[in-house]
Structure 1
């Protein structure tokens, strides 16, 4: 009898704690080898484009509805795709330097979704914490889900992350002026 009462008591306690703390939604791991992150940075009179690799990532779903996500980007993989040879190597090196992303001290950047609101069937308004160079700032962007694919475009203000190289008008170097915002176009495969 005591054994039965103890079993019932334990079942009730663990059953109630399961109701109070529901299991998280389904996490779908992103296939980093099939996903792409493309960047585009602008300057007076032109732009540069390139890629950067995801180290890891996952989107969280409640049924078919997107409810969360988190990603780690490998900042050491910054790659310029619109230049070749010495110009490419110089820009890649400069982007990794302390003038820009300080990849030796900050080899990764992260994005963690903090709020997800569904706008339409497959379109979501997402707010997340983006961390670059150890600095975390809130960012908003749209995410579109189509089966096992997700796409997003983020506009990042580099000044918020202490990337101030040639921001604003500096002396007579107006033709080398770099815009404060750069774009990230993300195509994810799960």
Structure 2
């Protein structure tokens, strides 16, 4: 009888130990108002820079690692940093027109995370300290394309910090305005530089 009791106690301890090791710790994060996607659009000899706000309330982390969620980019939040104040409305109005983002029909762009994997690559264009390769579906102007980019992601002390640098080809989303290299003075490069800076807090 004593042997049976001891065996039962041992089995209970082992079972408890096994289940404790596999407990899943899930968390949800909400982005704060400092989260932005900075952009740079270039043409021969010059460029423009600015930013969009980035929002999200459903970033999911499991055991300290982001694994799902959607970023929302309100197109009307677009800003310009380099032009004089009297010229900014002209540029921003054009960027929101049907030539570019067509904000009347498509007020938001979204990025839905479909995968995050450890990253140990050597992409010199990536942000310093990039530790994950993020893959997702980026929807803009009614079109969706899969993109991926190296990112530095830090989830600790109830805080989420993410930074990434990458390029997107705007023509993949049908943004074909001023893409003819032969049009002197009216040619904009297809690649747009993106610098993502994300900050969030655990719910």
Shift of 1:177: 1.4
User: In structure 1, how many angstroms separate the alpha carbons of the residues matched to 2:47 and 2:111?
Assistant: 25
Can you list the C-alpha shifts for 1:101-152, whole angstroms capped at 9, x where unaligned? 0011100000001111112597111111000001000111112113431111
Structure 2 unmatched runs, 5+ = 1-22, 121-128
Distance in 2, Cα, partners of 1:34 & 1:155: 21
Go from structure 1 to structure 2 and tell me whether the alpha carbon gap of 1:188 and 1:107 turns closer, same or farther (over 3 Å shift).
same
Partner of 1:30: 31
Q: Partners in 1 of 2:130 and 2:45 — Cα distance? A: 37
Which of the pair has more CA radius of gyration?
2
Whole-angstrom CA distance in 1 between matches of 2:141 and 2:25: 30
Contact 1:57 1:72 in 2 (8 A): no
Give the TM-score normalised by the residue count of structure 2. Answer: 0.75
- CA RMSD of superposed structures (Å): 2.1
Unaligned runs of at least 5 residues, structure 1: 1-21
Q: Does 1:72 align with 2:72?
A: yes
Structure 2 CA distance for aligned equivalents of residues 70 and 42 of structure 1: 28
Decide whether the 8 Å contact of 2:25 with 2:63 is kept in 1. Answer: no
SS class of match (2:54): strand
1:95-114 to structure 2, matched below 5 A, reads: 95-114=95-114
Residue of structure 2 in register with 1:188 after alignment? 198
Aligned equivalents of 1:55 and 1:94: distance in 2?
23
**Residues 47, 58 of structure 1: alpha-carbon distance in 2 compared, 3 angstrom cutoff:** farther
Rounded to whole Å, the distance in 2 between the matches of 1:181 and 1:137 is: 15
User: SS at 1:99's partner residue?
Assistant: coil
- TM-score (norm: length of structure 1): 0.79
Are the structure 2 counterparts of residues 143 and 52 from structure 1 closer, same or farther at C-alpha, using a change threshold of 3 Å?
A: same
Higher strand share: 1
Measure, in 2, the Cα distance between the counterparts of 1:24 and 1:98: 45
Matched, 1:153 2:165: yes
State the 1:58 CA deviation: 4.2
SS in 1 for 2:145: strand
Q: Does 1:135 align with 2:146?
A: no
Asked whether the 8 Å contact 2:130–2:150 carries over to 1, the reply is no
CA deviation after TM superposition for structure 1 residue 168, in Å: 2.7
